[in-house]
């Protein structure tokens, strides 16, 4: 596996980023947007294969996906109005969640989104929610046509649970913090990375303030979040040997996302919630955490390098899969790496172990009962 891609990229037709942006901006239908997506894939793959920093590369993917999604939202609004469905009955916010909310997307990822709409009279609530659900369903279907698969867990604005009034969202977040259990902790790990993609007014700033207040009032929640964040451990044995799958289709491989990247993402989220850090990007959260002297500047620098290295390997896995015509996954055979890169991989996992030990000590998770 080549960390910076392969020669197959040179056979792709040349399309400039400016031409791509122009094509998105000039698209007047979902069909035209969907036709742009293959061109975007080739540009993104070439840029990702150039070996730039992990943060710049994932931001590049997210920026394009944001632009395409925003255009899709505007096209859908125009189509609904043109067909007699009217304009939005109240201001609303389209919310990015998960890796999209963290600006950490790599090539094609599942949808993770939600919608919050402004308050209306109780007598109008049912009709207003129905309008936004119809709008969200149309947007989700458009995203599928543009190459963004539906979320397997149905974390999408087309789900009535995740298309709510602003007050309902405030109550939802408060409820999750007040009652930490496996379900609410899993929801928090997805929804607390929220970021506005389209908003008529700054509701998410209020939601963030309310979330900070709720966490301060329920300090036990963070300890449960931490315990949950420590469930995925780096794949190293006590003797610092790789722990790989013993059987199945991924025998001899390790899950780079779940066992490498996710522990850092989860730890950074806990620290952000604890310290009131508003950034959603993992590297940004770690950097701000270093400024608060929680991890220490030197350790944070090394940890950021480790996280970036794992991200680069994951991108390479995805590029190789695309080149071979198979669905991308996150499984890595460490034997395919050079000795030097295997050493870097081990050192990265050692740093993540240290990060988890730091969280165990800070939040005393050994005293938390299972939820």
For the stretch 58-111, pLDDT in tens is 888 888 889 999 999 999 999 999 999 999 999 999 999 999 999 998 876 789
Residue pLDDT, tens place only, 28-54: 999 999 988 787 777 777 777 776 678
Q: Strands of the chain (E only): list them.
A: 92-96, 113-117, 163-165, 195-199, 254-255, 331-332
Q: Please, where are the H alpha helices in 152-281?
A: 166-178, 182-191, 203-217, 219-229, 256, 262-275
The pair of structure tokens assigned to 198 is: 């389209």
Cβ(310)–Cβ(261) below 8 Å: yes
Got the DSSP string for 182-206?
HHHHHHHHHHTT-EEEEESS-HHHH
Read off the pLDDT band of 255 (50, 70, 90): very high
Band (pLDDT 50/70/90 cuts) for residue 296 is: confident
Strand order in the sheet with 92-96: 163-165, 113-117, 92-96, 195-199
Measure Cα distances from 338 to 134, 229, 239, 242, 342 in Å. 52, 31, 20, 14, 6
80 within 8 A of 42, measured Cβ to Cβ: no
Task: Give me the pLDDT at residue 62, please.
Answer: 86
Cα–Cα distance, 107 to 62 (Å, whole number):
9
For residue 163, the cross-strand partners are 115
Residue 292 falls inside a structural domain: yes
CA proximity to 162, closest of 108, 115, 206, 194: 115
Structural domain containing residue 265:
218-371
Number of domains into which the chain is organized: 1
Determine, yes or no, domain membership for 290.
Answer: yes
In a domain, 339, yes or no: yes
| pLDDT at site 13 | 52
Write the DSSP assignment of 68-101 as a string of letters.
Answer: HHHHHHHHHHHHHHHTT--S-SS-EEEEE-HHHH
- Residue pair 278/101 in contact (Cβ under 8 Å)? The answer is no
Q: What percent of the chain has pLDDT over 90?
A: 71
Q: Tell whether the model's pLDDT for residue 349 goes beyond 70.
A: yes
> Is residue 295 assigned to a domain?
yes
Mean pLDDT of all residues belonging to the chain: 89
Q: Where are the beta strands (DSSP E) in 273-367?
A: 331-332
- Burial classification of residue 302, based on how many CB atoms lie within 10 Å of its CB (0-12 exposed, 13-18 middle, 19 or more buried): middle
Q: Identify the band that residue 326 occupies on the pLDDT scale cut at 50, 70 and 90.
A: confident
pLDDT digits (tens, 9 = 90+) for 167-226: 999 999 999 999 999 999 999 999 999 999 999 888 999 999 999 999 999 989 999 999
Predicted local distance difference test score (pLDDT) of residue 2: 37
Could you tell me if residue 129 is inside a domain? no
Q: Tens digits of per-residue pLDDT, 220-244?
A: 999 999 999 999 999 999 888 999 9
Q: What is the pLDDT of residue 370?
A: 63
Indicate whether 63 belongs to any domain.
Answer: no
Cα 124 to the center of its chain, rounded Å: 34
Q: Could you count the other beta carbons within 10 Å of the beta carbon of residue 365?
A: 18
More confident of the two residues 287 and 19 = 287
Residue holding tokens 């599928």?
A: 144
Which among 32, 34, 56, 33 is positioned nearest to 44, based on CA atoms? Answer: 56
**Exposed/middle/buried for residue 147 (C-beta within 10 Å: 0-12, 13-18, 19+):** middle
Q: Has residue 260 got a pLDDT over 60?
A: yes
**pLDDT confidence of 3, banded at 50, 70, 90?**
very low
Q: Is pLDDT above 90 for 15? A: no
Asked whether residue 254 is assigned to any structural domain, the reply reads: yes
Evaluate if residue 128 carries a pLDDT over 70. Answer: yes
Q: Which residue has 């069909």 as its token pair?
A: 31
Residue 272 belongs to a domain: yes
Would you say 342 and 288 are in contact if contact means Cβ atoms under 8 Å apart?
Answer: no
What is the pLDDT, as a whole number, of residue 4?
A: 34
What pLDDT score was predicted for residue 12?
44
| 123 has pLDDT over 60 | yes
Asked whether the predicted pLDDT for residue 5 surpasses 70, the reply is: no
Give residue for tokens 């209306």. Answer: 120
**What pLDDT, on the 0 to 100 scale, is given for residue 8?**
27
């Amino acid at each position: 596996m080549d960390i910076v891609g392969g020669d197959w990229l040179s056979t792709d037709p040349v399309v400039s980023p400016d031409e791509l942006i122009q094509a998105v901006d000039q698209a007047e239908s979902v069909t035209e947007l969907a036709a742009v997506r293959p061109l975007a894939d080739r540009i993104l793959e070439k840029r990702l294969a150039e070996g730039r920093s992990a943060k710049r590369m994932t931001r590049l993917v997210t920026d394009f996906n944001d632009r395409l999604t925003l255009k899709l939202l505007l096209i859908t609004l125009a189509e609904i109005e043109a067909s007699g469905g009217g304009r939005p009955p109240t201001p609303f916010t389209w919310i990015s969640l998960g890796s999209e909310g963290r600006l950490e997307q790599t090539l094609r990822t599942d949808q993770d989104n939600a919608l919050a709409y402004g308050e209306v009279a109780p007598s109008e609530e049912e009709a207003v929610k129905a309008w936004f659900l119809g709008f969200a369903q149309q947007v989700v279907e458009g995203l599928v046509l543009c190459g963004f698969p539906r979320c397997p867990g149905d974390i999408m604005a087309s789900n009535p649970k995740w298309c709510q009034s602003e007050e309902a969202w405030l109550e939802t977040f408060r409820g999750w913090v007040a009652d930490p259990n496996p379900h609410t902790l899993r929801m928090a790990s997805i929804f607390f990375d929220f970021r506005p993609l389209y908003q008529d007014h700054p509701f998410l700033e209020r939601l963030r303030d309310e979330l900070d207040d709720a966490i301060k009032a329920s300090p036990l929640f963070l300890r449960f979040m931490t315990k949950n964040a420590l469930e995925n451990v780096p794949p190293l044995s006590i003797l610092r040997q790789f722990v790989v799958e013993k059987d199945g289709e991924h025998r001899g491989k390790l899950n780079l996302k779940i066992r490498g990247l996710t522990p850092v993402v989860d730890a950074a989220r806990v620290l952000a919630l604890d310290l009131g850090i508003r950034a959603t990007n993992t590297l940004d959260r770690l950097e701000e955490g270093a400024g608060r002297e929680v991890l220490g500047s030197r350790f944070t620098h090394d940890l950021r390098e480790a996280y970036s290295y794992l991200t680069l390997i994951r991108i390479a896995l995805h590029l190789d899969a695309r080149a071979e015509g198979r669905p991308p996954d996150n499984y890595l055979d460490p034997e395919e790496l050079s000795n030097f890169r295997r050493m870097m991989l081990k050192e990265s996992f050692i740093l993540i172990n240290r990060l988890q030990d730091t969280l165990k000590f800070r939040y005393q998770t050994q005293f938390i009962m299972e939820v």
